[in-house]
């Protein structure tokens, strides 16, 4: 069976079978696709996560790449598809898993959160890392099984792909959780070598994202994020794909091309949102990457008659890091994110 055939007809496996496949010695590089059963719906229908398994030419690092933790973020999904179709097996040493969609139920309903319980799959990690509680939910159960799969793979590093979703567009950046432990320092280095124009360092305290959960498990993890608000553009998908290649090269999984030499990103460690205090239609006055000063007008809101009812100021000085693309805002909605 060719690699293309293997991608077109994915086999269904349980977690142990998939992990066994990931550890089998290979006589040649190859790529196969699988569906790994992790949970089930109330009527007993299996919920399986899609996973591509790429074996390189020699033994080496084990890298876990994922997208679609938020079901409405499709730029990362498109980048994952490009990774699977790119012929990486001939270039790799080691083993790479590519999960195009983590949150399969949210993806099937084109929503950020699970349709079964409304929980955000990227806000249940870290300090509250998937521990059973009286509020145990389907999302917690499903992601617990998923996390067991990730940890059992014993990844050298994790790459998590995101975008701004249907309502926002974000500046391309690599995000990591700070710390003095070896895994945290390694995550910082991966972010610095990602070829993204910006990096964002976030603290551990109170964090509940997937990167916080990985940090608790001492696994280097970096989030690569770009685009959003529209169908994936070729520019955004290419940027994410090239960033993944750069991180793979930094992990020793593949060689970087001479044209892919990493440049040090502009580093940020603080962000703040400008929010609307009135409802209406939004007009942006800034673009991604613009420099703004505190109090500078970044947007205005007009009412149903076209009258300006609010001028939205920048919450601090810095770089425009994310903007709202949805033209309708409610009271309290996020409008422009500034990083410094």
| Pairwise CA distance, residues 40 & 142, whole Å | 8
pLDDT at site 43: 84
Contact 148, 16 (CB under 8 A): no
Rama region for 232: left / alpha / beta (φ>0; ψ in -120 to 50; rest): beta
State the burial class of residue 330 (Cβ atoms within 10 Å of its Cβ: 0-12, 13-18, 19+): exposed
For the stretch 104-145, pLDDT in tens is 999 999 999 988 888 898 988 865 555 544 456 888 889 999
For the stretch 152-192, pLDDT in tens is 999 999 999 999 999 999 999 999 999 999 999 999 999 99
pLDDT-based confidence at 248, cuts 50/70/90? very high
pLDDT at site 136: 67
Exposure b/e, 195-234, CB count within 10 A at least 16 = b:
bbebbbbbebeebbbbbbbbbbeebbbbbbbbbbbeebee
| Pairwise CA distance, residues 149 & 230, whole Å | 32
pLDDT at site 5: 46
State the burial class of residue 174 (Cβ atoms within 10 Å of its Cβ: 0-12, 13-18, 19+): buried
Give the chain's mean pLDDT: 89
Contact 293, 313 (CB under 8 A): no
CA distances to 96, 112, 317 from 296, rounded to whole Å, are 45, 31, 9
* pLDDT above 70 (res 260): no
For the stretch 48-76, pLDDT in tens is 999 999 988 888 899 999 999 999 999 99
pLDDT at site 44: 82
DSSP secondary structure letters along 89-150: GGT-SSEEEEES-S-HHHHHTT-SS-TTT---TTSS-GGGTT---TT--HHHHHHHHHHHHH
For the stretch 85-94, pLDDT in tens is 886 766 778 9
* pLDDT above 50 (res 97): yes
Contact 303, 309 (CB under 8 A): yes
Higher pLDDT, 5 or 13: 13
Contact 279, 330 (CB under 8 A): yes
| Pairwise CA distance, residues 208 & 121, whole Å | 10
| Pairwise CA distance, residues 77 & 138, whole Å | 23
pLDDT at site 32: 87
Higher pLDDT, 237 or 25: 237
Contact 52, 98 (CB under 8 A): yes
SS3 186: helix
Q: Pick the closest to residue 151 from 100, 207, 94, 214 (CA basis).
A: 214
Rama region for 44: left / alpha / beta (φ>0; ψ in -120 to 50; rest): left
CA distances to 18, 66, 69, 151, 156 from 15, rounded to whole Å, are 5, 16, 19, 11, 19
pLDDT at site 204: 87
| Pairwise CA distance, residues 82 & 79, whole Å | 5
SS3 204: coil
């Amino acid at each position: 069976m060719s690699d293309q055939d293997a991608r077109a007809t994915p086999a269904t496996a349980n977690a142990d079978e998939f992990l066994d496949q990931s550890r089998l010695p290979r006589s040649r590089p190859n790529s196969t696709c699988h569906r790994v059963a992790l949970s089930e719906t109330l009527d007993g229908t299996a919920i399986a996560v899609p996973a591509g398994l790429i074996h390189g030419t020699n033994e080496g690092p084990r890298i876990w790449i994922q997208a679609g933790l938020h079901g409405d973020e499709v730029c990362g999904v498109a980048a994952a598809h490009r990774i699977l179709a790119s012929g990486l097996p001939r270039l790799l040493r080691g083993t790479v898993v590519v999960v195009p969609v983590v949150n399969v139920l949210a993806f099937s309903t084109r929503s950020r959160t699970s349709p079964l319980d409304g929980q955000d799959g990227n806000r249940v990690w870290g300090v509250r890392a998937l521990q059973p509680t009286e509020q145990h939910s389907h999302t917690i159960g499903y992601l617990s099984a998923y996390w067991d799969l990730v940890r059992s793979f014993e990844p050298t590093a994790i790459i998590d792909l995101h975008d701004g979703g249907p309502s926002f567009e974000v500046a391309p950046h690599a995000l990591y959780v700070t710390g003095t432990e070896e895994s945290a320092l390694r995550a910082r280095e991966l972010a610095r070598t990602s070829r993204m124009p910006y990096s964002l360092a976030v603290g551990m305290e109170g964090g509940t994202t997937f990167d916080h959960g990985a940090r608790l498990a001492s696994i280097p993890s970096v989030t690569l994020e770009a685009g959003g608000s529209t169908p994936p553009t070729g520019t955004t998908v290419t940027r994410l794909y090239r960033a993944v290649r750069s991180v793979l090269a930094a992990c020793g999984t593949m060689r970087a091309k001479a044209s892919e030499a990493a440049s040090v990103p502009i580093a940020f460690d603080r962000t703040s949102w400008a929010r609307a205090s009135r409802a209406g239609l939004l007009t942006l006055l800034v673009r991604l990457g613009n420099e703004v000063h505190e109090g500078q007008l970044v947007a205005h809101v007009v009412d149903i008659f076209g009258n300006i009812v609010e001028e939205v100021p920048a919450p601090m000085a810095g770089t425009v890091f994310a903007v709202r693309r949805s033209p309708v805002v409610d009271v309290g909605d996020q409008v422009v994110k500034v990083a410094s």
